[in-house]
Structure formats: structure tokens, C-alpha cells
Structure 1
């Protein structure tokens, strides 16, 4: 059974906890262990299938509704999963049957009423794979797109950090979130460096409330 082992598959992947719920991460860890036990090739295949499914859920409103609806009958859930698997198979000459490991994951999620955790499971799985491969993703969140010169200097600084030097590869992602107001928030391995205006405003509000 896919969930026969739920222990953490990689100690350096603890930072995945920020991206998904505790429940989702149990499935992520079990899935990672099952895929890796087969072979690195199977691990890569499962990741490709999951990412195709994730993209389909984001792009197709009906599929997003499907995974978030816990009231569907067993028959409807089975039909919906077949649509997800068809998306993961690809098209044309590249079309390949979905792995049993991926099918088992979704069978368990469906039976346990946890299809709503799908995106969290996939996020956690990707973090575990990245940690296994020695990859490190740094996410820089700002209120507006950063100027190119600022982006370049920031990336150069990050690459010189001890955490980055230990990684085999470094990937920098940029996100725009107006709620940070200004400054940046850097998610870096298991650390978060909050240099946002919103953070300073929150701290000020907290101090003011304590003073009243």
C-alpha cells in the first residue's frame, strides 16, 4: 500500500512544511519513498505526471472543482481521476501510461476524501525531489517586479551564501504580491528573510497595541 511508510524521506526537505499541510506532506513523503524505492527513472516519471496533473487542475476549472468537491460519489470520483490520468499521459507519440504509483496515490486520496490536498501533495513531493537532487529554490517575493539590476545583485549575493554553496544547483523564482507593500521576502531553504514593509507595519501595530 502506498501509505505503508510515512516517515520523512529526506531530512533536508523540512522546508516543504511551509508549502503544504501536515496531512499533504504525509502523502508526499510516502509517495517519494515509494517512487525512489523503484528507481530514479520512476521518480522522474512520477514527478512529470504529477506536474502535468497540477497544471491541468490550475488550467481547467472543471478539474479544480472536481478535486475540491468532497461530496462526489465513488463513480464520479473514478471518472474524474481517469480524466486526470489522461492529462498526465500526454498526447501523440509521447503518450505513456500513467505509473501505478501515481494511480495508487490518487486512489488513496480519493478513498480517504483527501483529493482537496492534491496540490499540497504535489508541492511537497517536488520539494523532496529537489532536496534529493541537491537543488535549492530561492523564492523572492516583492510588491512589484524588481528592477533587473537589483535582481542581478540579489541573486549574486544569494549564490554566495553558505546554504547555496552546499547545493548542487540554485534556482531563483520571483513572485509578485502587492500585500508585502514594499521591500522583499526571501524564502531560502528552511529560512525566511522578511524585509517587507508589511512586516515592519505589523511589528509597529503590535507594539502600539501593547502600549495601549
Structure 2
């Protein structure tokens, strides 16, 4: 690795760098910088704070990640789902919730927030702690919504090309839905689509 690096495209020219420098600096560090930039683009400061606060709901290691203030801040990120009175109630509800969860052996050895939410429904704890359960549902829905948005933007690259750059918003939305949910639309037969259009209005010819 300490030998001089030989450029395969021009073996006669001296590079004045070692093999270690080439593979570590020119290759490994470059790829690492690209990955860091991609992470920073996908997970900005707001998203990072949101994910860190969501982690406080995790039941792993006897709810070791639980942080009351972080969960209150998480509820503050959803102003349309928690009003001022509910935020005050959530503060007291979280205090009773964490002691109850740690003392109840039925909530031991859970793997994630999804398992915790299922166990709360099974034990009817979601009725005793409705605000905490609402916070769990929001945390579980967020990754799905984020992935759906990214899928939609990715599909736009295939739907709205240079040859179809003047389509209206309505037609583009319909086309994106067909592209994103193509597995579902593959179950619909052509005959059903033709009958659907035929029944929409009277036509001169039979489809």
C-alpha cells in the first residue's frame, strides 16, 4: 500500500502518491463525503430532531430512551393534532404512563413502537392514555408518509419527461397515481376499464 500508485490510463506518468493515498483519500473519503451530503439533504435539522424525539417512544431496554420533555416537544410539532389543553394533559399523562409501562411485565421485551402500539390496544391501555397513543400513531404514520412523498417525486421523473412537459396538473396527478400504484392497477383488466368509460356517457360506437 505504500508503493507509488500507477494510473492504469497513463502508466508512464508519475502520480507522486501512494496506493494508500489513492484508495483512502481519492476513493473512500470521496464516497463518504457523497453519502454524508445525501444524508444531510434527506435528513435536515427539522427531520433529525423529529426522528430523535420519536425515538423517545421506543420500548427497548425497559423504555430507556424515554424523555418526557422531548415527547412534549414532539407533540408541539403537531399543532393541529394537539391543542393547548391537550398538551397540558399530555404532560401529566406521560408521567403516569412511563411508571405504568415499566411496572407491567406485559410490555417487557418489545422491539419497537409498532409492537408497543399493538400491545397497548391488546391490553386496552390506549384508552387509559389516549394522548400518548395518538402520539404513537403519528410517529408510526410519519415514515410511511415520507416514503410516499419521495416515491411520488421519483415517479414524476418517469411521467413528466421532456416530451410531456406541458401536461396539466390533473392529468399529471392521475398519471403519477397510476405509476406509483402500478401493482394495484395491474389487477384491473382492460375490459373493466372499457366498460367504465362506456358507462360514463353515451357514445357513437361501442368500445
TM-score where L is the length of structure 1? 0.26
TM-score where L is the length of structure 2? 0.27
Which structure has the highest strand share of the two?
Answer: 1
Q: Which has the larger radius of gyration?
A: 2
Which structure has the highest helix share of the two?
Answer: 2
Q: Which has the higher contact order (CA 8 A, sep 6+)?
A: 1
